[in-house]
Structures are given as structure tokens and as C-alpha cells.
């Protein structure tokens, strides 16, 4: 993936366009046929054919455009592309439709046609109420109040009282939604930076923050957005604390909210997609095999719907989350080699979608792919993927930065690179300690690895059995299990003790769960 391929904003926009959008732009811009507009069409055509942004090459292919002109032409083209897209996409998006109605009302009001403007505002208000768009309602009512205040419209006393009451109700609603959406966002950002709670200090800080910022009477309100952001807040709160059962319950409530009001899937498709992703993650964390498969099928069915394909964001993130879930399926069933078969095609798509995929998503994918290679016994390729994480953004997902280094060290151990193990152990331990990511599980791992250099192969078996016994004691410990959320260390040790592959050990556990009726 070329890191500088999409550095120019205009080039990013051009590269994101589909054939129908390009065709629409050409028709839209040629209606004016002004000289300036014809030049931006030439600029558009050249940009559309460039494999990556190169200003020197761009000017060479456009001899009629001088360098001092380029910045203004690019700005003009950018604005015209957005105008064309807005015109084309209005019917696909409720927010654009509502904005269009508000624009029409303002135009009519400015023309002096106040009553016509009020009629449009009334229609827009009904549409906004039907789709729970209270932020937009506040703008509509603000314009209605302005018209009623400045002009004699012959509105009844009852209507003006209703208008003022609506304004108060909407103001209260927006305040509640803002508080809850802020809480959900800040919890999510905490997780993106740190991962799961590392220690009791993190746990107490998150609990205090959540309690302080959660409105006391919030459960008495039944509006869609209040519930959505309430469930999201509980969702991230539970996930950070590794309360996976609570995480599952609120992921389920999140999706049930859409199932109860299916028309909102088309209005808030992004939130629905994210909710399905979280529900699949909850099934993964709890090893709900049967439910996982059922939810994945539902998500794959949704991927074929109109809503999922209305916009690039929805289509691409649905693809990313579905394929991430498929990787998780292979991780929790131990079918690593089967899972690795899907990686080449998936990476081609990820490269194609590079413009839309954030660094955090790539970091997670690289870690999961590395884990599959490690589990399959291909330690060299696992190291290649782990180094992408270790050489990347060190401020993002400190937890994965730590466990990538731990897995990197374990891969070298498996390869028998003992000459570098001592320095690796010191380096990884120092890094994890600095980031406050060393639990009792890692302490036991480091002790074992240090001792293992001086142990004969015959004496290694009882040492492994002892290590397994010690680590299994921590399976129910809140902060120790943080390790197990990133790497199945117990299955790795069991594979050594049982002299089987890690994949075989995990797959046997999966078969056992099916036999017990869990899957």
C-alpha cells in the first residue's frame, strides 16, 4: 500500500467517484460551458487517469494551465464536484433531503413569500419527526419563530404556543442526546488509545467517569437517539472493563432497537453497521459459536441490501466488518490454514479501499492475520505482519502495540532464534512495563522463557505443565484475562504439553463445545 498515494484532497475525491458519479459530473458541468468550467473538465480528466497524485506530471499533461492557475482551478473543481454529488445523492439521504427543504424555505422567505416558506417548513418538520431528526427540527423551528416574530402571518395563538412548546421539548431532547453521544464518543476514544482497562486504577477511573457523565433520569426517555447513544455508552463501558456478558447484552439492545424500528436502518445505516460489528465481536469474546454464525449470516444478507450499498462508507465498512468476523471465526475455531486462504483476496480489497480505511482498522487486521500465521506455524510471516504494527503509529492502541511485541518475541522463540531471545525479552518487558501492560500472566511467561534457555528438552515438559497450571489459575481474574483477549496463551502452552499444533488444540475445544450443545 503506497502511503502517499492519496495525499491531495481533490485527488482523493476524484479517486472515490464511481462511473455513474463521473458521468453525472460531466453532464452537470457542461450545462454552463463557461471557459473556466471547460478547463476544470480537462483537469478532472487528467486527475482521473493518474495512478497517484503528481503535480509535475499533472501540469505537463495540461499545457494550457499555468502553475499559478492550478490552485484556483483545483478549488473550483472541488466545489463543482461536491455540488454535482449533492444533486445526485439527495434522494439517497434523509439529511440531504431535509437540508434541501430548509434551503427552499429560506429562498422563499428571502423572496418575501413567507407563507409559502412556512408551508415547506411544516412539511419538513413532519419528515424530520418521522425520522427522529431533532437537530434539524431545531433549525426548522428557529426559522419558523423568526418568520412569526418579524412578520404578521395571521397564525393563531394556539399555533404560536405549540411552536414555543416544541422548541423547549426539542432543546431538552438535543441536550440529552449531546450528553449521551459525548459519553459514547469519549469512551470509544479511550478504548482506541488504550484498549481494555489495564489495572484497578483504569477500572476505577472509567467507572467514575461513566457515573459522572451518565444523566440520572435517562432511562425514562424512549426516543430512538437517546436509546441508541445510551446503549452505545454502556456498550463501550462494558467492553473497556472486559465485562463481555454486559457487552453482549448492550450490543443486542443496540441491534434490537433497529429491529423494532426497521425504517431507521436506512436513516442511520452507519450506526446499524457498527452495531452488527459489535454484536459479532461480543459473540466472539463469549465463544457463542452458533449465535456468531447466525448473526454473520444476517450481516451478509444485509450486505446485499440497498441500504448497505447506498454509500461508499456503508458498503466498504460492511465488507471490512464481515471479513473481520470471518477472520475471528477461524481464530476461535483453530482453522488457521483455512482462514489464511482468504487473506490474499482480502488484502487486494483492503488495498483498493485504502482511501477509506483508517489506521486503527489496518492495525487490528494486521494483528489478527499475524495471529493466524502464528497459530498455523508460519512464524516468519507472522513476524512480517507484526513488524508492520511495531513500525507504525505508536500512539494508537497501546495494548496491541504491547501484544504485537509479545507475539513477535514468541514467534522468534518458536523459530529457535535463541541468540536474540535474551535481548528481546528485556526489550519487550521494558516496553510493556512502561505502558503498564504487564499482568501476572505475562510475568509467568517471561519467567518461563528466561529459564527455558538453560533447560534440557527432557526437563522442558514438566516446566510447561507447571506454567500451564499457574496460568490457568488466572482465567477468571479480571485484569489477568486481559492477556487472553489478545492471545490464546493457554492454548499455545497446551499445544506444547500435548505435542499438537495450536490449531488442533483450539479446534478440539470448539468440537467439545458443539458436543455440549453450546454451538
Instruction: Please report the pLDDT score of residue 123 as a whole number.
Output: 92
Instruction: Please report the pLDDT score of residue 33 as a whole number.
Output: 59
Instruction: Please report the pLDDT score of residue 6 as a whole number.
Output: 57
What's CA 279's distance to the chain center, in Å?
13
DSSP-derived secondary structure for 154-223:
---HHHHHHHHHHHHHHHHHHHHHHHHHHHHHHHHHHHHHH-S--SHHHHHHHHHHHHHHS-TTGGG---
Distance (Å, whole) CA 115 – CA 103: 15
- Assess contact for 254 and 228: CB atoms under 8 A: yes
- The helix-helix angle for 244-260 and 224-240 (nearest 10°) equals 160
User: Helix, strand, coil proportions of the chain in percent (round to 5)?
Assistant: 80, 0, 20
- Assess contact for 331 and 503: CB atoms under 8 A: no
DSSP-derived secondary structure for 437-461:
---HHHHHHHHHHHHHTTS-HHHHH
Which ranges of 287-417 would DSSP assign to H, the alpha helix?
289-302, 312-333, 336-340, 343-352, 359-376, 379-390, 398-414
End-to-end CA distance of the chain: 38
CA-wise closest residue to 477 among 506, 434, 443: 443
The pTM of the whole model exceeds 0.85: no
Instruction: Please report the pLDDT score of residue 517 as a whole number.
Output: 61
Q: Which single residue is written with the C-alpha cell 504494527?
A: 389
Distance (Å, whole) CA 272 – CA 103: 29
- Assess contact for 362 and 350: CB atoms under 8 A: yes
Averages of pLDDT over each 10 residues, the chain, 519 residues? 62 91 89 68 92 91 89 92 89 87 91 89 90 88 83 62 84 90 93 84 93 86 92 96 95 97 94 97 95 98 94 90 96 96 93 83 92 96 95 78 94 94 94 88 92 84 93 79 81 94 95 73
Instruction: Please report the pLDDT score of residue 36 as a whole number.
Output: 55
In tens, the pLDDT along 42-95 reads 999 999 999 889 999 999 999 988 888 899 999 999 999 999 998 888 887 888
SS3 6: coil
Q: How far is CA 281 from CA 12, 170, 322, 335, 496, in A?
A: 31, 35, 11, 18, 28
Distance (Å, whole) CA 347 – CA 45: 29
Dihedral angle computed from the Cα positions of residues 289, 290, 293 and 296, in that order, rounded to the nearest 10 degrees: -90
Distance (Å, whole) CA 408 – CA 383: 6
Quote the cell numbers at residue 461: 515438559
Instruction: Please report the pLDDT score of residue 2 as a whole number.
Output: 39
Instruction: Please report the pLDDT score of residue 435 as a whole number.
Output: 86
Instruction: Please report the pLDDT score of residue 154 as a whole number.
Output: 56
Distance (Å, whole) CA 249 – CA 237: 12
Backbone angles phi, psi at 54, to 5 degrees: -145, 105
**Count of CB atoms situated within 10 Å of the CB of 98:** 21
Amino acid at each position: 500500500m503506497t502511503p502517499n498515494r492519496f495525499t491531495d484532497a481533490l485527488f482523493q475525491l476524484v479517486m472515490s467517484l464511481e462511473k455513474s458519479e463521473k458521468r453525472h459530473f460531466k453532464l452537470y458541468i457542461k450545462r454552463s460551458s463557461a471557459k473556466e468550467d471547460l478547463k476544470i473538465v480537462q483537469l478532472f480528466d487528467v486527475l482521473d487517469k493518474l495512478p497517484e497524485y503528481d503535480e509535475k506530471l499533472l501540469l505537463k499533461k495540461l499545457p494550457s494551465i499555468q502553475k499559478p492557475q492550478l490552485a484556483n482551478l483545483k478549488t473550483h473543481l472541488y466545489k463543482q464536484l461536491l455540488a454535482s454529488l449533492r444533486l445526485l445523492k439527495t434522494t439517497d439521504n434523509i439529511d440531504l433531503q431535509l437540508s434541501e427543504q430548509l434551503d427552499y424555505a429560506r429562498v422563499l422567505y428571502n423572496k418575501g413569500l413567507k407563507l409559502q416558506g412556512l408551508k415547506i417548513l411544516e412539511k419538513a418538520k413532519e419528515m424530520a419527526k418521522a425520522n427522529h431528526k431533532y437537530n434539524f427540527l431545531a433549525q426548522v423551528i428557529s426559522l419558523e419563530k423568526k418568520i412569526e416574530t418579524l412578520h404578521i402571518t395571521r397564525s393563531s395563538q394556539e399555533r404560536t404556543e405549540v411552536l414555543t412548546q416544541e422548541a423547549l421539548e426539542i432543546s431538552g431532547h438535543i441536550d440529552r442526546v449531546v450528553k449521551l453521544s459525548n459519553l459514547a464518543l469519549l469512551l470509544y476514544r479511550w478504548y482506541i488509545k488504550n484498549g481494555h482497562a489495564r489495572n484497578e486504577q483504569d477500572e476505577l477511573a472509567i467507572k467514575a467517569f461513566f457515573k459522572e457523565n451518565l444523566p440520572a433520569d435517562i432511562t425514562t426517555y424512549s426516543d430512538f437517539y437517546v436509546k441508541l447513544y445510551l446503549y452505545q455508552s454502556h456498550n463501550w463501558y462494558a467492553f473497556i472493563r472486559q465485562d463481555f456478558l454486559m457487552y453482549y447484552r448492550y450490543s443486542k439492545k443496540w441491534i434490537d432497537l433497529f429491529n423494532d424500528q426497521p425504517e431507521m436502518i436506512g436513516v442511520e445505516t452507519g450506526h446499524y453497521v457498527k452495531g452488527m460489528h459489535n454484536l459479532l465481536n461480543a459473540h466472539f469474546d463469549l465463544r457463542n459459536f452458533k449465535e456468531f454464525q447466525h448473526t454473520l449470516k444476517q450481516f451478509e444478507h444485509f450486505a446485499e441490501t440497498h441500504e448497505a450499498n447506498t454509500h461508499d462508507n456503508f458498503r466498504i465498512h460492511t465488507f471490512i466488518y464481515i471479513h473481520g468476523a470471518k477472520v475471528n471465526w477461524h481464530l476461535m475455531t483453530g482453522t488457521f490454514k483455512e482462514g489464511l486462504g482468504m487473506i490474499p483476496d482480502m488484502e487486494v480489497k483492503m488495498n483498493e479501499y485504502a482511501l477509506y480505511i483508517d489506521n486503527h482498522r489496518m492495525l487490528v487486521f494486521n494483528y489478527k492475520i499475524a495471529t493466524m500465521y502464528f497459530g498455523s506455524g508460519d512464524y516468519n510471516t507472522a513476524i512480517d505482519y507484526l513488524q508492520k504494527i511495531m513500525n507504525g503509529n505508536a500512539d494508537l492502541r497501546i495494548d496491541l502495540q504491547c501484544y504485537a511485541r509479545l507475539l513477535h518475541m514468541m514467534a522468534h522463540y518458536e523459530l529457535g532464534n535463541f541468540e536474540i531471545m535474551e535481548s528481546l525479552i528485556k526489550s519487550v518487558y521494558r516496553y510493556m512495563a512502561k505502558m503498564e501492560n504487564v499482568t501476572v500472566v505475562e510475568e509467568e511467561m517471561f519467567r518461563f522463557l528466561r529459564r527455558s534457555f538453560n533447560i534440557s528438552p527432557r526437563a522442558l515438559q514438566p516446566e510447561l505443565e507447571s506454567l500451564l497450571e499457574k496460568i490457568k489459575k488466572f482465567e477468571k481474574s479480571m485484569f489477568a484475562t486481559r492477556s487472553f483477549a489478545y492471545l490464546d496463551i493457554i492454548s499455545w502452552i497446551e499445544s506444547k504439553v500435548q505435542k499438537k499444533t495450536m490449531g488442533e488444540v483450539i479446534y478440539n475445544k470448539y468440537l467439545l463445545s458443539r458436543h455440549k450443545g453450546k454451538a
